[in-house]
Structure 1
Amino acid sequence: MKELNIFQLLKRLLKMKSINYYKEIKIGVRPSNLAVRQAEEIIAKLELLGFERARFTIKKYHTDGDLDKETSISKIERSNFFTNTVDKAVLSGDVDFGVHSAKDLPDIIPNGLRIACITKSINRHDALVSRDNLKLAELPLYSKIGASSTRRKEQLKKFRSDFEIVDIRGNIEERLEKFEKNKLDGLIVATCALVRLGLVDRITAEIPFNILEPHPLQGSLAIIVREDNYEFAEKFKKIN
């Protein structure tokens, strides 16, 4: 019985060895502050799963979506517009895994990659940022509302046909800046983005699902790994 216990202990140590002896783990993300916060969120989870001795490095990659801020979201939804260069870095081995906003995942994952994990959403609601602390129903007639996705635009017009929807692109900070600069009456962004960036004070109100039904993966993060990266894939299963 004593020898069996020692054998079992050795097996456990061998399983842990490759994790605890990582010198560096590289994570690929987009260049925004939000993307970095999301990577840090995953790092915190990994440190609870046996990676506390690892040194994490966050590497930033400009995707097509970061370089082209003029094309309407309606023309590139469900494509790899916001994931392409990060995925290439994972595939080439330049990074160990990539972290995406799950709603940005393309319909088809590139060959050689797989989704290791989709985290639970921290908040699926859309949020309204408005002037004078007015809620969506309280905004004046013909208010100008900044929004990006087709989903948001269509649902806003259904709720208030008088709204003038202004196409607005960019990272969260850039959208808030455009909201102020263009003197819009309101701006629709994901609540989770403002929470992760510590900008909850900008939220006028969370919008109920019966007015704006969000993307089903809004607020969740997706971890992309190479298909042959079994060790990371197995560990990521435990994140949720």
Structure 2
Amino acid sequence: MRTIVVGTRRSQLAVTQTQWVMDQVRDQLPQDWQMRLEKMVTRGDRILNVTLSKVGGKGLFVKEIERALLDGRIDFAVHSMKDMPAEMPEGLTFGAVTRREDPRDCLLSRRGEGLEDLPENAVVGTSSLRRQAQILAYRPDLRVEPVRGNLNTRYQKLMNGQFDAIILAQAGISRMGWTDRVTGILPEEVMLPAVGQGALAVQCRKDDQEMLELLEEVNDPVTERAIIAERTFLQAFEGGCHLPIAGRATVDEEHIRLRGLVAHPSGTPVLREEAEGMEPVELGRRLARELMEKGARSLLEEVKKGMEE
């Protein structure tokens, strides 16, 4: 008999996502195996008064969980793929990448407006430099202010009048059953998603063969190919998932189309490029090179310098 301990952050969305994966895995379990959930508090959950880009980015949400995996305290963990840093600790791997849900961002506004209808100087809440850059590129007349906390906290801040609108991932909203609260889906031409957005990462130890075989049943190969292309693109910029970088791959049979964006948080400049190919790693590297030729690396260095000041 084996008891599988599954690690997750304790937010309602994280638990909901993890329980969904556990339901998929449960169908594959040998008869005498069982599972239990281990809710964990990460540094990113504790530090709520500073924007992510100031305190080390989204890796803050996974480091403690990865340590628990390496120590053998948990057997697999479920993360939002967009929260995963580009580099993974030695000894860990993705046991599965789940089928992607809608990867787009969405707007929730207090008075029911879409992005086009928000009044001038309306305050939009997001702690993502990627979202900030693209919102200001599209609507430079808006004000963007940081908002932290789980989805419930952010929604409460919106309804309390601290913001006129907030931007969230549509996939998370769907998993929470909140689609009726959405006042606008943001098209990818306006808001290119974060790398990995809409997919879940199921992480385990590389040497746990039993777990790898079990999780293989949950893996979606089409989403996995798209994620490899996007994460390779991100890795080329040394992985800063808190930086204003966006990437979105679509897979049509063997063919992959990858769109990438690097921007300044002020909304200008915004560098965009797209590429197509068959091999995800080569495609991700090629798109990154093309954006670097347009000046993406020096732009990101300027952004990093600004964040350190």
- Please, what TM-score do these two structures have when normalized by structure 2? 0.67
| Pair 1:120 & 2:99 matched | yes
Report how far residue 126 of structure 1 moved: 0.7
Matched residue type, 2:49: E
Secondary structure of the 2:95 match is strand
CA distance in 2, matches of 1:183, 1:159: 22
For 1:169, the equivalent position in structure 2 comes to 148
Map of 2:84 onto structure 1: 105
Q: CA deviation at 1:78?
A: 5.4
Distance 1:45 1:31 in 2: 20
Counterparts of 1:238 and 1:211 in 2: how far apart (Å)?
A: 35
Larger RCO: 1 or 2 (CA < 8 Å, sep 6+): 1
Structure with the larger strand share: 2
Does structure 1 retain, via aligned residues, the 8 Å contact 2:29–2:214? no
What is the rounded CA distance, in whole Å, between the counterparts of 1:52 and 1:165 in structure 2?
52
| 1:72 alignment partner in structure 2 | 51
Residue 151 (1) aligns with residue 169 (2): no
Asked if residue 29 in structure 1 is aligned to residue 8 in structure 2, the reply is: yes
Closer, same or farther: CA 180–79 of 1 in aligned 2, 3 Å: closer
Inter-CA distance 30–52: structure 2 relative to 1 (3 Å threshold): farther
CA-based RMSD? 1.7
Shift of 1:76: 4.8
Aligned length: 219
- Contact 1:72 1:167 (8 Å CA) reproduced: yes
The residue type paired with residue 133 of structure 1 is G
Q: Deviations over 1:74-100 (max 9, x none)?
A: 235655211011111111111111111
Is 1:160 matched with 2:145? Answer: no
How far apart in 1 are the matches of 2:175 and 2:56? 23
What do residues 122-165 of structure 1 show as CA deviations (whole Å, max 9, x unaligned)?
A: 11011110122111001111110011211000000000001100
Which runs of 5 or more residues in structure 2 are unaligned? 221-309
Aligned to 1:230: 209
CA contact (8 A) 1:127 1:206 kept: yes
Determine the structure 2 residue equivalent to 1:195.
174
* TM-score normalized with structure 1 length: 0.86
Matched residues in 2 for 1:76 and 1:52: separation? 45
The answer on whether the counterparts of 1:78 and 1:107 sit within 8 Å (CA) in structure 2 is no
Higher Cα Rg, which structure? 1
Question: Is 2:4–2:74's contact at 8 Å kept on the other side of the alignment?
Answer: yes
